[in-house]
Amino acid sequence: MKNQPTRRELMKRAAMIAATTVISERANGAPALPARYSPHLRVVDGVQWDKAPCRFCGTGCHVQVGVKDGKVVAIAGDRQAEVNKGLLCVKGYHVGLALYGKDRLTQPLLRQDGKLVPISWKKALDVIADRVQKNPAGFAFYGSGQWTIPEGYAANKFMKGGLSNNHIDPNARLCMASAVTGFLSTYGVDEPAGCYDDLDACDVVVFWGNNPAEMHPVLFSRIVDRRSRGETVRIVDITTRTTRSSGFADDVLLMKPQGDLAIANGLLHLLIARGTYDKEFVEKYCAFRGESDPPSLNGKAISFEDFKREIAEYTPAYVEQLSGVPARKIEELATLFGDRKLKITSLWCMGVNQHTRGTAMNALIHGVHLLSGHFGTPGNAPTSLTGQPSACGTVREVGTLSHALPGGRVVANEKHRRQGEDLWRVPHGRINAKPGYHTVELWRNFSTPTEKGGDIHTIWVQVTNPGQTLPNTNELFYPSRKLKDKFLIVSDVYPTETTLHADLVLPSAMWVEKNGMVGNSERRTQQWFKMVAPPGDARDDCWQIIAVARRLFDRGFAGMKDKDGKFLFAVEENGKEVPIWDYRHYYDVNVDRSLFEEYRPWTRLKHKDLAPYDEYVRAHGLRWPVVQQPDSSWRETKFRFSGFDDPYVAKGKTYDFYHSTSEDGRAQIWFHPYAAPPEAPDKDFPFWLCTGRVLEHWHSGSLTMRIPQLRRAMPQAYAEMHPMDARTLGVGNGERLRIRSRRGELELPVWIGGRGAPPPGTVFVPFFDESLLINRVTLDAHDPFSKQPDYKKCAVALERLSTEAGTP
Amino acid sequence: MIRRPNLRGATSTLAFVGAVLAIALIGFVTGTHSRPKHAGYQAQHEPASTVAAAPSYRELTATRWGANAGMYDLQVPALALSLPTADQPVAPASAADRSAALVERGRLRAYTGAPPVIPHAIDERGLPGCLACHGKGAVAAGRMAPMMSHVVMQNCVQCHVPSSVRPELKERSLVENTFVGLLPAAGKRAWNGAPPTMPHPSFMRERCNSCHGVGAWAGLRTPHLERSNCQQCHLPSALWDQRTGQGGPLGLGAQL
């Protein structure tokens, strides 16, 4: 053993750890770091290291955070983490810098006479409580897939269990709602069956409108680095523009926008027409489903013969006509899916989800895998990826959606409401049966004058930036800012387009400035401890919710009491209530642990069992269902619905879809016909606009644009186009272009031969840049089931500006 | 399906990559280079698509794409000529050399252990041509292209991004960031004269030659180039040893 520490060194280190964990961090009344027991904590040369999941995307890499003198000073990829095995991407390596932008929000600000003026927390809490009491039914919460699990759980309980109000929806509605409806309509229960282990085992990986080389780089490397080890993995890239991922692909299927519907149907048709589908798998474990009239999430049962007849239309020639992809390439891909010896994994994210037929498209990809039997063994999986660290853990599992309750329950179901009321210990009837407004509805309502029926008077936004990320902001966001009785509360860490227009701004703690838990794309729940103090008066989002709840409780607001009259968020220690609403005492106990243990019983209904909090302290995340073994250890599940791994599969069964919507253990293979996009290029608006992301920046860029290494590498948004189009328009590299849709316009520099290569007739613009807001141009048309808008295709006109015109 | 050689371990991968690079260079220089053909599935001429067929892994290091594909064609052998060789004597680094090297090194990193940024323009979309210079390392006109310090990973630009603004995009003022990164401290010695421990993480820095070998900054170059088993004498620093938590095999936390 090299570097074996001596006994004296071990004792010295132990003493240092003991000393540093009890040191009070600040003198001005903020709580000390919690006394804690992290088995991963180590202190060497004055640097205190501990594990945390990365703050950014849904991959869920673990980082080691190095803290010295109360500040983060270094980051290292965590070698013990199964997700990333020590590797990170450039955002992850620089995640520590996200805390230290100079313009951190450090005190509550209230708009007075048009200006944001510093106020005390006490005043801020009173203002919010006043807004709630004005009319609790018109108070809404707009949250995030970046909410930690305890934060989302507290917000959900505050709204649905406290205010009897379901107007709570997250930004994840814009991000993965269609993935949820795809899983629900196929398996009857949300979230992927497979996991990242499939990426190590597959022979073929299919990217459906996905660019993981930039957006999920660690997973992408997990695939392509297999080639460096001499393994073979064939990459098929189905895309509307060639990207860095295409550069590594063996086959690139360049399609017209919306062509994915035709391609998936074409594959289903060929599998049946050629007889290469998996007859045994389909006979034993699948049922067929078609769209009902009126349309519904679960459609109607159809026979295999019906399915075969309907799908027969999607011949390779017809698919070529709809998608622009040569028939021969469709046939080749169908050959791969028809080969049972190959192991095939599909990955998708925003291309499929941000789609007016997103639910259909998700279901079709599942259908291709089910029909071909590429399901349920390592390497064979349809796996949807997420873009936020806890889109799964918080939004989908805790159910911070306007129709949902924790653990896969829905407010419309009376049994679910009763279970919820019992778990929250609130009187029966407390939870409102009517779903609240989904994101687009919510913001449209907020921007509608009260006298014209806009009944939402206040929205509290946490951990997201809707002023930049909502679609069609000219209609959904800005009008509310001119209405006097519409009040916008925003909790954030930096000034953003949203705080700029807010009435009350609350400074938040972020990432390792607070305790947290999140859930990644592969059902992995992760935990970390607070490591540094937040700046100034910035405080935990979860505390903010609890403090407002307590203010209402103190004012006698009935909803903040449980059925015994106790505070809804009461935390007791040794039989005494700890005043966690007083921030000085917030870390006297581990509130995360307390909320998580309260939430755990919710997770059993849909067999998404979570382990006790302390198991997550020990592990680098665990994939649910986590089930206790006879030896009392906790075992995670990698492959859901597969008898060899999933403890909930009936004994002796190879596969068991135990939440089947047809209630017979079968998954549904859907027929969803092609449908034209809601808006397509025409004479007046002749180009497609696609929006998206770049490697360096994460979402609205409020964190990554403050990290010099990332911002220098990608300083601003741009319009990417084909050189032929540029020539026709007469614009050169760096020259300015006006992009105009029926909804808004934006001026941007052109970048030809840049990061991606759109085909002629398409322009691509990333949305990270707060000074070049492309969502003034995009469309708010959305999927009928998931209510997720389509940011990937709308019609625009392009116009050359003189090179002198305008500055960014 | 394409059958690819079954390589085991980093050494043979490197040897393979080196061999491909060498063949490619000869090909480029003599003008006889052509894309290798393989018997299995290949992308054919695509009338309806403007996308070039993606090259196979075999072709990755040998094939460059895009407008600047030829820019290094005659450069790489010339760069290689200017590298010192292991049999040349190397003087121990002076303190001035050493601090100059650390400044230069720190300029490209947010903290010790961060992946360095790329101090030159890159082909944004094409397959990474990084290996052409960074596979073995090169020195020219006072500029050094260090050999990569880790095994070949395909998606180089996942971790390494350009340090400066590309001409198409203007830089606007940056919000100041007050992050202060961990700086490298000198390696620790058990006694005067003992070999120092590594003052930086050792993970993904397995190829010591990258910074301490012939092509390295003078201040970091080892005075004993002829010795190749570095970790025989220089041990990883405990600062970056992730095994020392309780979760690791040493089980330190259990004693707390």
Read off the pLDDT of residues A591-647 as tens digits, 9 standing for 90 and up: 999 999 999 999 999 999 999 999 999 999 999 999 999 999 999 999 999 999 999
Contact: B56, A250; criterion CB under 8 Å: yes
The average pLDDT across A376-390 equals 97
Q: A228 and B4 in contact by Cβ < 8 A?
A: no
Q: For position A239, what pLDDT does the model report?
A: 97
Residues in B touching A707 (Cβ below 8 Å): 177
The pLDDT value given to residue B187: 81
Q: How confident is the model at residue A750 (pLDDT cuts 50, 70, 90)?
A: very high
Q: Which residue has the higher pLDDT, A234 or B152?
A: A234
- Is the model's pLDDT at A124 over the cut of 80? yes
A-chain residues near B204 (CB < 8 A): 86-87
For residue B175, the model assigns a pLDDT of 83
Specify whether the CB–CB gap between A202 and A233 falls below 8 A.
yes
Please tell me the least confidently modeled range out of A280-284, A513-517, A761-765, B11-15: B11-15
Tell me phi and psi for residue A19, to 5 degrees: -70, -50
Model confidence at A157: pLDDT above 60? yes
In this structure, what DSSP letter does residue A137 have?
G
List chain B residues with CB under 8 Å of A332: 41
Flag whether pLDDT at A702 surpasses 90.
yes
> pLDDT (tens digit, 9 = 90+) per residue, A5-51?
444 444 444 444 444 443 333 333 444 444 456 788 888 888 999 99
Q: How confident is the model at residue B23 (pLDDT cuts 50, 70, 90)?
A: low
**Contact residues on chain B for A89, CB-CB shorter than 8 A:** 158-159
Chain A and chain B share a number of CB contacts under 8 A equal to 274
| pLDDT computed for residue A567 by the predictor | 98
What confidence score (pLDDT) does residue A808 get? 38
Does the annotation mark A350 as catalytic?
A: yes
List A64, A146, A354, A388, catalytic entry: A388
A51-60, pLDDT tens digit by residue? 999 999 999 9
- Substitution target from B112, B168, B202 for chain A, most A beta carbons within 10 A: B168
Which of A248, A321, A706, A764 to probe by mutation at the B interface, max B CB count within 10 Å? A248
Position A753 scores a pLDDT of 84
What share of chain A in percent tops pLDDT 90? 92
| Catalytic site residue from A61, A77, A91, A690 | A91
Which residues are CB-contacts of A96 (< 8 A; sequence separation ≥ 6)?
A65, A66, A72, A73, A74, A75, B111, B179
Least Cα separation, residue A710 to chain B (angstroms): 8
Q: Which residues of chain B are within 8 Å of residue A51 when distances are taken between CB atoms?
A: 247
Kindly report the nearest CA distance between residue A192 and chain B, in angstroms: 26
Q: Which residues of A touch B245 (CB under 8 A)?
A: 38-42, 49
Could A246 and B253 be called an inter-chain contact, meaning their C-beta atoms sit closer than 8 Å?
no
Please judge whether B169 and A217 are an interchain contact, meaning their C-beta atoms are less than 8 angstroms apart: no
Answer with the residue of higher pLDDT: B147 or A257.
Answer: A257
Among A194-198, A527-531, B63-67, B84-88, name the one with the lowest average pLDDT.
B63-67
Band (pLDDT 50/70/90 cuts) for residue B237 is confident
In the structure encoding, which two tokens stand for residue B96, read together? 């001035």
Position A174 scores a pLDDT of 94
With an 8 Å Cβ cutoff, are A2 and B231 in contact?
yes
Mean pLDDT, residues A235-245: 96
Tokens 């004693």 locate to: B255
**What is the pLDDT, as a whole number, of residue B188?**
84
Mean pLDDT (chain B, rounded): 70
Encode pLDDT of A290-306 as tens digits. 999 999 999 999 999 99
Q: Which residues of A touch B56 (CB under 8 A)?
A: 250
Average pLDDT over residues A554-562: 97
pLDDT for the residue B12: 54
Note whether B180 contacts A71, CB cutoff 8 Å: yes
Catalytic annotation on A388? yes
Q: Is the pLDDT score of B11 beyond 60?
A: no
Task: Indicate if A608 belongs to the active site.
Answer: no
Query: In chain B, whose CA is at the least distance from the CA of A617?
Result: B247
Q: Do B157 and A695 touch (CB under 8 A)?
A: yes
Q: Do A93 and B110 touch (CB under 8 A)?
A: yes
Cβ neighbours of B170 in A, within 8 Å:
715-716, 749, 808
Q: Å from A587 to nearest chain B CA? A: 21
Percentage of residues of chain A with pLDDT beyond 70: 95
Cα three-residue angle B118-B119-B125, rounded to 5 degrees: 50
Please report the pLDDT score of residue A301 as a whole number.
Answer: 97
Indicate if the pLDDT at residue A227 is higher than 50: yes
Judge whether residue B17 has pLDDT over 70.
no
Is residue A48 annotated as a catalytic residue, yes or no? no
Cross-chain Cβ contact A75/B124 below 8 Å: no
Q: Who contacts A283 (Cβ-Cβ below 8 Å, separation ≥6)?
A: none
- pLDDT band with cut points at 50, 70 and 90 for residue B165: confident
Please indicate whether residue A600 or residue B14 has the higher confidence score (pLDDT). A600
**A149 contacts A397 by C-beta, under 8 angstroms:** yes
DSSP state letter for A410: E
Structure tokens at B191: 């006694």
Mean pLDDT score, A103-109 = 98
Smallest Cβ distance to B242: which of A10, A64, A709? A64
Residue B59's pLDDT is: 56
How far away is chain A from the Cα of B44, in angstroms, using its nearest Cα? 10
User: What does the alpha-carbon distance between residue A258 and residue A779 come to, in Å, rounded to a whole number?
Assistant: 15
Asked whether the beta carbons of residue B153 and residue A228 sit closer than 8 angstroms, the reply is yes
Q: What is the pLDDT of residues A569-590, one digit of tens each?
A: 999 998 999 999 999 999 999 9
Q: Residue A320: its chain B contacts at CB < 8 A? A: 48
**Lowest mean pLDDT: which of A576-580, A660-664, B210-214?**
B210-214
- In the predicted model, what is the mean pLDDT of residues A268-282? 98
The pLDDT value given to residue A9: 46
Local confidence band at B1 (pLDDT 50, 70, 90 cut-offs): very low
Give yes or no for residue B62 having a pLDDT over 70: no
Mean pLDDT, to the nearest integer, of A102-109? 98
CB contact under 8 A, A49 and B242: yes
pLDDT for the residue numbered B86 = 56
Q: State the nearest Cα–Cα gap between B136 and chain A, in angstroms.
A: 17
Q: What is the pLDDT of residue A94?
A: 98
Residue A258 appears among annotated catalytic residues:
no
Cis peptide before A579 (omega within 30 of 0): no
CA distance A579 to A554: 12
Task: Report which secondary-structure segment, H or E, holds A334.
Answer: helix A327-338
Pairing of strands A687-692, A115-118: unpaired
Distance from CA of A63 to the nearest CA of B (A): 11
| Per-residue confidence band for B57, with pLDDT thresholds at 50, 70 and 90 | low
pLDDT of residue B14: 56
ipTM of the complex: 0.89
pLDDT digits (tens, 9 = 90+) for A412-424: 999 999 999 999 9
Residues A260 and A764: their CA atoms lie apart, in Å, by 18
Asked about A531 being catalytic, the answer comes back as no
Query: Mean pLDDT of all residues in chain A?
Result: 93
Q: What is the mean pLDDT of residues A654-674?
A: 97
pLDDT in the model for residue A25 = 35
Q: Please give the angle made by the CA atoms of A357, A437 and A766, to the nearest 5 degrees.
A: 50
Contact B41 A332 (CB under 8 A): yes
| Rounded Cα gap, residues A615 and A621, in angstroms | 9
Pairing of strands A62-68, A47-53: antiparallel
Asked if the model's pLDDT at residue B256 lies above 90, the reply is no
Say if the Cβ atoms of B159 and A100 lie within 8 Å: no
Q: How far is B126 from chain A (nearest CA, A)?
A: 7
The tokens for A378 are 């390592």
| Whole-structure pTM value | 0.88
Nearest to A715 among B157, B169, B247 (CB): B169
